Amino acid sequence: MPFVILATDAPGSMDARAAARPAHLERLERLQGEGRLHLAGPLPIAEHPDAAAAGYHGSLIVADFASLDDARQWAAADPYREAGVYTDVQIYPFKAVFPR
């Protein structure tokens, strides 16, 4: 079942985000390789050609997990969380309606 993982960045966490990014992306690439990743990306603070210049509100991930508990466990081990980038992580079951 798909779950939405919605994470909020800590103020001033851009350096920590940059340092943890390779490990964060590696986990997402694994999900993608398993055919479980629907979409993922950061939530820029501003419309800007270089979003990193303004920073991010957080991240959004939509991926398949066997259960809410599995999604929580996966999110808890995210390198961004371990690096202090995320201050809060919300996880919700998701029912895709569009595109069909």
Tokens found for residue 54: 């303004």
In the chain, where are the structural domains located? 2-93
Mean predicted confidence (pLDDT) in 40-65: 88
Confidence of residue 50 (pLDDT cuts 50, 70, 90): confident
Is the pLDDT at 54 greater than 90? The verdict is no
Per-residue pLDDT tens digits for 3-42: 999 999 999 999 999 999 999 999 999 999 999 999 999 9
Mean predicted confidence (pLDDT) in 42-61: 86
Task: Among 3.30.70.1060, 3.30.470.20, 3.90.1640.10, 3.40.50.300, name the CATH number for the domain at 2-93.
Answer: 3.30.70.1060
Per-residue pLDDT tens digits for 60-100: 999 999 999 999 999 999 999 999 999 999 999 999 999 88
Give the pLDDT of residue 47. 80
